[in-house]
Amino acid sequence: MAHDHDHQVVPSDPALRVKALESLLVEKGLVDPAALDVLVDTFENKVGPRHGARVVARAWADPEYKKRLLEDAPMAIAELGYTSGQGEHMVVLENTPEVHNLVVCTLCSCYPWPVLGLPPVWYKSAAYRSRAVIDPRGVLREFGTSVGDDVEVRVWDSTAELRYIVLPERPVGTENLTEEDLAAMVTRNAMVGVSKL
Amino acid sequence: MNGIHDMGGMQGMGPVPHETDEPVFHAEWEGRVFAINAALRAMCMWNLDTWRYQIESLAPVDYLRLTYYERWLRINEELVAKHGLLAGAAKAVPALTAAAAAQRLGRGVPSSDDPAVKPVFAVGEHVRARNINPIGHTRLPRYARGKVGVIARDHGVYAFPDTNAHLEGEHRQHVYSVRFAARELWGEQASEKDSVYIDMWDDYLERA
């Protein structure tokens, strides 16, 4: 990292630029560093796909909950205590033997933060955003996911303020597992629809 | 704007990158810029559509070259400059506090339930996505324009991004999931089983 910044007015290193921006905003009283700490901690440690996994496990274990979840996802998800920005209008899409759902945001990076946290790099990549709509089966194969020719693939492009989460099919042979054990099986990628369980 | 951000259906972007055990932030500064962005947004000096248009207005070569959070850094620098926040012209808006940061995560898009705003289209109706090419912000992706689909679901009422981004009013209207057959969008190379659901505002649609 031995850059020579002597000739530059603005440092090019993002880490330095962020430090500069933060200290200027703090100096002006526009930003409170303690608030920044809370925001980083929330998304690094508190919100994430474990929330979504608990929602999925509850839906598998409790048919009444699943019904509520499919009808009014924000309400049903709030029952488990998860609410936050980027999730006011969540919609749950149920995978079945006949239908496989896949979620993308071709225009930016819309993602259901309260249940999945912040999106991974691949979800935000040009490759995923460009290809998910035109070649969903090719993308699924790249993730090692096989979907039969007889199965309908539905791609959901998050172009408005709806945020989509996939309810994966419950794996066979899991009838005797507890809800906690079920939740441990659920992956982020399955809730975006690029993987099956 | 027919910008580089409107990527649906583009080819040549390579395989989807994979990373195992991916951290939420890849460097401390990424978390910091994420938080600065959220704290500034909480002051409501610009809305989410304005914010998105700022990203879309990056030069295409920069958009592709910069990483995700480098784009966030760039546009926050731009928005701070544009609003004169460091020039002494700053509005007297109180900074987001730590307590408010913990609570405000529930804040966001207003309720989609508004009986005063009537839907123009009904579930099951055939619609065509209008062929519009605005120079400003739009959430109607290029790959859908001129294509015929079916209204699958009415999601209620939302601000219209094309005007809201430019502070020309919210023009709240219904948003629907519109189902397009993959073959309507991409021709014979797509599976006849498949479809793409795109969320669209009333003003993006006409009867087909």
Name the strands in the sheet holding B173-181, side by side, starting at the edge strand that comes first in the sequence: A99-104, A152-157, B195-201, B173-181, B148-158, B126-129, B205-207
For tokens 């730590």, name the residue.
Answer: B98
| Identity at A150, one-letter amino acid code | D
Q: A35 near B95, Cβ under 8 Å?
A: yes
Is 50 exceeded by the pLDDT of residue A45? yes
Count other C-beta atoms under 10 Å from residue B167's C-beta: 11
Half-sphere exposure of A179 (CA within 13 A, CB side): 14
- What residue of B is the nearest CA neighbor of A139? B16
pLDDT per residue as tens digits for the range A48-71 = 999 999 999 999 999 999 999 999
The DSSP code for B202 is G
Contact residues on chain B for A151, CB-CB shorter than 8 A:
193
Catalytic residue at A158?
no
What is the b/e burial string over B73-101, where b = at least 16 CB atoms within 10 angstroms of the residue's CB?
A: bbbbbebbeebebbeeebeeeebbbeebb
Chain B stretch 16-45, residues whose beta carbon is closer than 8 A to a beta carbon of chain A: 16-19, 22, 24-29, 31-36, 38-40, 43
Residue ranges per structural domain of chain A: 14-45, 47-192
Contact flag A21-B36 (C-beta cutoff 8 Å): yes
A95-131 pLDDT, tens per residue?
A: 999 999 999 999 999 999 989 999 999 999 999 999 9
> How far, in Å, are A58, A108, B80, B187 from residue B177 at the CA level?
26, 18, 35, 21
| B178 reaches A (C-beta below 8 A) | no
| Catalytic entry in A108, A125, A130, A146 | A108
B171 exposure class (CB count in 10 Å sphere: 0-12, 13-18, 19+): middle
Span B5-35, pLDDT tens digits? 999 999 999 999 999 999 999 999 999 999 9
Catalytic-residue membership of A146: no
CATH fold, domain B126-207, is SH3 type barrels. (2.30.30)
Interior angle at CA B12, CA B9 and CA B16, nearest 5:
85
Q: Which of A134, A137, A146 to mutate to probe the B interface, most B CBs <10 Å?
A: A134
pLDDT tens-digit readout, B60-115: 999 999 999 999 999 999 999 999 888 865 556 778 888 888 776 555 566 678 88
Selected for mutation to probe chain B from A90, A135, A157 (highest B CB count within 10 Å) is A157
Q: What is the DSSP pairing of strand B205-207 with strand B126-129?
A: antiparallel
Using CA atoms, how far apart are residues A30 and A38, in angstroms rounded to an integer? 16
DSSP bridge partners of B197: A156, B179
DSSP 3-state of B125: coil
* Cβ atoms within 10 Å, residue B162: 21
What does pTM read for this prediction? 0.94
Q: Do residues B129 and B121 touch, judged by C-beta distance below 8 A? A: no
Domain A47-192: what homologous superfamily?
Nitrile hydratase alpha /Thiocyanate hydrolase gamma (3.90.330.10)
Domain borders along chain B are 28-106, 126-207
pLDDT score at A85: 59
A105 flagged as catalytic: yes
Active-site residue, from A12, A23, A84, A110? A110
Task: Tell me, yes or no, if B107 comes closer than 8 A to chain A by beta carbon.
Answer: yes
Compare CB distances from B29 to A15, A43, A86 and report the shortest one's residue.
A15
3-class secondary structure, B192: coil
